[in-house]
Amino acid sequence: MIEEAAIVTRIDAGQVWIKALQGGACGGCIQQSTCGTAALSKWLPKREFAVDCDRSLNVGDRVTVAIDDSHLLLSSLVLYLLPILSMLGGVGLANVFLPETVADAWLPEISLAILLLTFWLIHRFQNLLLLHFCFMPQISGKV
């Protein structure tokens, strides 16, 4: 199990909305001032998401969220392999169905458009794809 500290931001019927706490491994790293990951984590906001929970929690409680290790491979396939496969499939279909002169002239643009469209679709449906099919985070306890 991979565990991360989070804070409860709101409580709905049967669901607890949590947000990951800032810090983690970047807080204790000596390369923090020159690391791109640390710089991005400062600028990009942490997203909050809903977790099914039957524990009695209050807004502001610090909790530990756990994710099963075995599901990380599936989420990696969705995030990395699916866009590449869709791009290659789209380029193959463009070669088959478009005239040769159009395909040769526009193939880089077509492949980039398909790749970006796949990234956008994954981003748009990430709650459905990642949180429900790939892994379900569970609240393992209070901190």
pLDDT digits (tens, 9 = 90+) for 68-83: 777 777 777 778 899 9
Reported confidence tier of residue 43, pLDDT bands at 50, 70, 90: low
Pairwise pLDDT comparison (61 vs 32), residue with the higher score? 61
Tell me the DSSP string of the chain.
Answer: -EEEEEEEEEEETTEEEEEEPS-GGGGG-TTTTT-HHHHHHHHSPPPEEEEE--S---TT-EEEEEE-GGGHHHHHIIIIIHHHHHHHHHHHHHHHHS-HHHHHHHHHHHHHHHHHHHHHHHHHTHIIIIIIII---EEEEE-
pTM over 0.85: no
